[in-house]
Amino acid sequence: MSTIITNGTVVAEHGTETTDLRIDGERITAVGHVTPEPGDEVIDATGCLVLPGGIDTHTHLDLATQGTVTSDDFTTGTRAAVAGGTTLVMDFATAQKGETLAEGLANWHAKADGRSWCDYAFHLAMLEWPTGRAAEIAAIADQGVTSFKMYMAYRPAMMVEDDEIMQALQATRTFGGTIGLHAENGRLIDELTSDRVAHDEVSAYYHQHTHPVEVEREAINRLGTISHLADDAPCYVVHLSSADGLAEVNRARQFGAPMVAETCPQYLLLDAGSYGRPDSDLRETAGFVISPPLRERTNQDALWVALADGGIQFIGTDHCPFNLDGQKDKGGNDFRHIPNGAPGIQLRMALLYTYGVVPGRLSLERYAQVNATNAAKYFGLYPRKGVLAPGSDADVLVYDPRGTWTVRHDDLLENVDYSPYEGFRIEGRVRQVLVRGRLAVDDGRLTEAGPVGGFVACGQSQPLADRSR
């Protein structure tokens, strides 16, 4: 028995066509006119978009950090992701200090195995660079993890030095891997924080002033230099937040560094006004304490343009949820002790459609690229993932563009007590989601598919064009 999706507008990176899909087992077996046979399950997608299932390039599920643990684990977080049209999450496994990379990766496999509603892949975060780590990286790549993460901030817990970044880039370059960098100047952040503390300016409002645009711009400039000196080793900037940072990404490319960039819905749609005033109530502001912080609205146009013209390659959520009650409020109204992070895993596809495609900022083809196809290519998952083609996994989102609704936290499945997008208007809805051929969402509601996802090994990074539509 096959599943046939008929009469939908099938979206690919180079065009759209009203046609059909045939799915047998876990794979797409035909794209084009399909005649259903007796016993086939038919999904009529008339008037709907048929898209590659989303790939969220940046999540933090079941992560112990800052004295607490993110409120979504692999069960609750991926259930919310699937409800929003995402069929693969790329989570940041972390090798804690003193652990080998193999130990860190094993811990994340244990967190995810048998619990995920969608497929998952891992980046591996490295908080230090001890002797012998280059050999460890090569061994981990053989286990299907070819992308890593390093932090240019958060001293002393996570920050690494420039020479260590260069050595790591040289190591990943040998097997076609890549490293994502949290690009903020940690030393300057520490100094700016000390200055605010000295003036008793520690409410959540002041968090933004300890992570100004300049620390992102400087770190990306420095990263471009390091990448170029490391024989033009591939790297990418995670959660790019500013127009100035984007300019530095473009400058690095001009000098030969093969740097790509990820941004997040919060930097496209939210702004620094969310921090209120110095005396604003903690409950109104703590939910927006993230790093990099929300920026002035003037940055948003540049990020949207870069998404459209290929200057930014993919979208992640940086889903790192903490409850306002019991987590964000534990340290009082002191930004140093408010856990950094915010939710967003369920709304990414709907937000980008509503505020990208509907007003004409993104074509449908570009929407598919930044939400799925480019990530699949860059992280060595293509063409298994990120495309609707014969032989590809049957990860499919049927999105009905008709109708509107309003975001209410109580309607979401994220295991957290607020949404930063409360009250946002959404155009259209997720109607069906298939994860490797299994119907996980039908008529907008989760089915009984349950945690059917599994680990997907990544391969060599495939270069992406800087300016492609």
State whether 28 and 114 are in the same domain: no
The confidence band for 414, taking pLDDT boundaries of 50, 70 and 90, is very high
458 domain residue, yes or no: no
The confidence band for 454, taking pLDDT boundaries of 50, 70 and 90, is very high
Cα–Cα distance for residue pair 347/407, rounded to 1 Å: 9
| Number of CB atoms found within 10 A of residue 387's CB | 22
| Number of CB atoms found within 10 A of residue 124's CB | 24
Cα–Cα distance for residue pair 366/239, rounded to 1 Å: 19
Q: Domain span at residue 284?
A: 65-378
Cα–Cα distance for residue pair 174/369, rounded to 1 Å: 27
452 domain residue, yes or no: no
The confidence band for 467, taking pLDDT boundaries of 50, 70 and 90, is very low
- Indicate if the pLDDT at residue 463 is higher than 80: no
Contact status, residue 318 vs residue 340, Cβ threshold 8 Å: no
What's the burial of 71, exposed, middle or buried (CB within 10 Å: 0-12/13-18/19+)?
buried
Q: Give rounded-to-5 percent helix, strand, coil for the chain.
A: 35, 25, 40
3-state SS class at 386? coil
- Indicate if the pLDDT at residue 465 is higher than 60: no
CATH number at residue 185: 3.20.20.140
* pLDDT for res 461: 80
State whether 83 and 230 are in the same domain: yes
85 domain residue, yes or no: yes
State whether 229 and 258 are in the same domain: yes
State whether 320 and 230 are in the same domain: yes
- Residue 146 has phi, psi (to 5 degrees) of -115, 5
Q: Cis omega before residue 292 (within 30°)?
A: yes
333 domain residue, yes or no: yes
Which pair of tokens denotes residue 445? 């509601």
Cα–Cα distance for residue pair 213/293, rounded to 1 Å: 9
Going by their DSSP bridges, the two strands 41-44 and 3-12 should be labelled as: parallel
- Indicate if the pLDDT at residue 338 is higher than 70: yes
State whether 168 and 232 are in the same domain: yes
State whether 89 and 178 are in the same domain: yes
What's the burial of 302, exposed, middle or buried (CB within 10 Å: 0-12/13-18/19+)?
middle
State whether 176 and 274 are in the same domain: yes
Last residue of one domain, picked from the residues 320, 344, 378? 378
451 domain residue, yes or no: no
467 domain residue, yes or no: no
- pLDDT, one tens digit per residue, over 122-171 is 999 999 999 999 999 999 999 999 999 999 999 999 999 999 999 999 99
Cα–Cα distance for residue pair 343/419, rounded to 1 Å: 7
Which among 383, 363, 361 is positioned nearest to 372, based on CA atoms? 383
201 domain residue, yes or no: yes
Section 273-280 average pLDDT: 96
State whether 305 and 409 are in the same domain: no
- pLDDT, one tens digit per residue, over 280-335 is 999 999 999 999 999 999 999 999 999 999 999 999 999 999 999 999 999 889 99
Which among 123, 195, 136 is positioned nearest to 168, based on CA atoms? 136
- Indicate if the pLDDT at residue 469 is higher than 60: no
Mean pLDDT score of the chain: 96
State whether 342 and 225 are in the same domain: yes
24 Cβ contact list (under 8 Å, min separation 6): 2, 437
Contact status, residue 354 vs residue 302, Cβ threshold 8 Å: no
Cα–Cα distance for residue pair 169/155, rounded to 1 Å: 20
The terminus-to-terminus CA distance of the chain in angstroms comes to 37
* pLDDT for res 313: 97
Which among 387, 396, 397 is positioned nearest to 431, based on CA atoms? 397
State whether 363 and 405 are in the same domain: no
Last residue of one domain, picked from the residues 378, 404, 421? 378
Percentage of residues in the chain having pLDDT higher than 90: 96
Return the minimum-mean-pLDDT range out of 26-30, 36-40, 435-439. Answer: 36-40
Last residue of one domain, picked from the residues 348, 378, 408? 378
Contact status, residue 118 vs residue 455, Cβ threshold 8 Å: no
Cα–Cα distance for residue pair 144/61, rounded to 1 Å: 19
268 domain residue, yes or no: yes
Beta bridge partners of 65: 68
Contact status, residue 345 vs residue 84, Cβ threshold 8 Å: yes
The Cα-based distances of 261 to 15, 178, 228, 374, 468 in angstroms read 24, 12, 16, 11, 14
State whether 296 and 333 are in the same domain: yes
- pLDDT, one tens digit per residue, over 74-125 is 999 999 999 999 999 999 999 999 999 999 999 999 999 999 999 999 999 9
Domain count, the chain: 2
CATH number at residue 14: 2.30.40.10
State whether 407 and 309 are in the same domain: no
Q: Cis omega before residue 383 (within 30°)?
A: yes
Section 231-247 average pLDDT: 97
